[in-house]
Structure 1
């Protein structure tokens, strides 16, 4: 007999999450394609659209086959292709690089919990597509001379073991230099906050509801504060801080995206930030860095929680698939 297993909860979660993220990104990249003026970016923008459309189509196909409800996600109602640009073409390239990196990482993470061959095939293909897109974005950024690099350090003379627990110090008094892992974490977190701050700047001037605008402005302040914390760490180490990030935002107040989409994008970015700070804590052995990350993470979690509440209030937060409420069924059966 042919073995035809049902989707597991992990597989439904992976497919559902991929649909939500890619339907959102498809809308955003559509706007970027409409306003793009850089011919060297035409192909990569089209590739980004193709990748997102592939994921959307595959998830829809599997869900319909298994009689699972297809997510609402984001549609043409969430993007207005008639308005002018909000961000520069360079920011478009930065977004595609960031989106491709997130897509590659998410696909790899999901693969670890997938069993069905067809679902594994989708995420294997997705990982391959987004990794290729990431490399193409990096190549174009390199050609333009605007790829942001991590700081450079002198070559290590020799490999050796730690000799003292003072390697962990950093709360009081003198502390050792940053390791390359710690520097990499700080660089990544700086870039994530930079992208978020730019996004929030455009969203804050184009959102329709005053409460959404206020939420975006608050996010800008938090992102700027976090960048300052990381900048100060590098300054004290005498490490040059990257200065080529483009945060150009037009004067347009016309909304290219729905408030629902903008809020979802921000919650996605905050989730990435929280995960990145958690990973940074686990690989940063200097105690002062752990203190910074713990404090900053708590601030982002508080901000993200308020964002979820705002989305629920406005009926913008789509409910993920969940297990059957057995208690509710039992209560219903008693009547």
Structure 2
């Protein structure tokens, strides 16, 4: 007999998260599609829309079959297709590249906690779809000479073992050169802050709520500060600075996205930053880098916590699936 197991907590969490992220991304890319003037990007944008829509519909089908509540997520009420351009077409390409990379990584990581075949099939296909989208975005950015590369280093002359604990130094005095893996994490985290800074700058300009505008302005300052920290590390090490992300923002005050969507996207970006800084701490052996990341993580966590409070106050924070509150049930039955 075929064993039709119920969804377990890890599977529900993975599916719920995928629905929320892809319904949001679909709205964002819809706006990009409406204002796009780059003929080279038409197919890429359509593929991004197709991928997001596929994930949303597949998750919805699984939840319906399980009599599980469908998330509210994000709908046409959260995007204004008629709004004027806020970001450049080049930013669209970079957002799709960034979104595709995040989707690929998330889908691959979630496979480890999935048992049911339909869930594994969905995330296996999702990983492949977004990996292909990522490569297409990279190819187009390279074609346009707009791919932001990490710094270059000289080739290693020979492989050898470390002979001194001074390799770990960096808090005081002279420190050893950055390793390739440390440079890779600095570049990645600079990129995350750059795209986040551009996003929230536009959000601060178009948000309807004064509280949201102030929150986005604060996010712009934090992202710029973190970029400066990473760039100063590269300058001190004599490493050529990578090119910057396109941060062109129009003067439009017409919001293409709802305040709810803007807050959720910002919350997602802060979560990615925290994960990126955490990975960097584990991979960085220079003590000064660990100190930087630890300090910056604390600042991001506080910012994210304030954002969650603001979302809850405005009833924009959708409750994720959770275990039954037994104590509440007992109290209700008394």
* 1:28 pairs with 2:28: yes
Q: Deviations over 1:258-313 (max 9, x none)?
A: 00000000000000000000000000000000000000000000000000000000
Distance 2:197 2:330 in 1: 48
* 1:170 pairs with 2:195: no
Distance 2:4 2:232 in 1: 56
Find the counterpart in structure 2 of residue 154 from structure 1.
154
* 1:85 pairs with 2:88: no
Find the counterpart in structure 2 of residue 97 from structure 1.
97
Structure 2 unpaired stretches of 5+: none
Find the counterpart in structure 1 of residue 52 from structure 2.
52
Structure 1 unpaired stretches of 5+: none
| Aligned length in residues | 334
Distance 2:306 2:245 in 1: 28
User: Offset at 1:243?
Assistant: 2.3
Distance 1:119 1:151 in 2: 39
Mapping of residues 52-201 of structure 1, within 5 Å: 52-201=52-201
Find the counterpart in structure 2 of residue 3 from structure 1.
3
Find the counterpart in structure 1 of residue 289 from structure 2.
289
* 1:301 pairs with 2:278: no
Contact 2:234/2:240 (CA < 8 Å) preserved in 1?
Answer: yes
Distance 1:81 1:265 in 2: 18
The residue matched to 1:238 in structure 2 has which SS?
A: coil
Distance 1:323 1:197 in 2: 36
The residue matched to 1:112 in structure 2 has which SS?
A: helix
Contact 1:146/1:244 (CA < 8 Å) preserved in 2?
Answer: no
Distance 1:46 1:244 in 2: 26
User: Offset at 1:201?
Assistant: 0.7
TM-score normalised by L of structure 2 = 0.99
Distance 1:212 1:233 in 2: 32
User: Offset at 1:322?
Assistant: 0.7
Q: Which runs of 4+ in 1 moved over 6 A?
A: none
User: Offset at 1:242?
Assistant: 1.5
Distance 2:193 2:156 in 1: 30
The residue matched to 1:288 in structure 2 has which SS?
A: helix
Contact 2:149/2:243 (CA < 8 Å) preserved in 1?
Answer: no
User: Offset at 1:109?
Assistant: 1.0
User: Offset at 1:5?
Assistant: 0.2
User: Offset at 1:129?
Assistant: 0.2
Find the counterpart in structure 2 of residue 279 from structure 1.
279
Distance 1:254 1:226 in 2: 29
Contact 1:167/1:176 (CA < 8 Å) preserved in 2?
Answer: yes
Contact 1:203/1:262 (CA < 8 Å) preserved in 2?
Answer: yes
User: Offset at 1:244?
Assistant: 3.9
Distance 2:244 2:171 in 1: 31
Distance 2:136 2:234 in 1: 29
Distance 1:265 1:170 in 2: 35
The residue matched to 2:225 in structure 1 has which SS?
A: helix
Distance 1:245 1:216 in 2: 19
* 1:239 pairs with 2:231: no
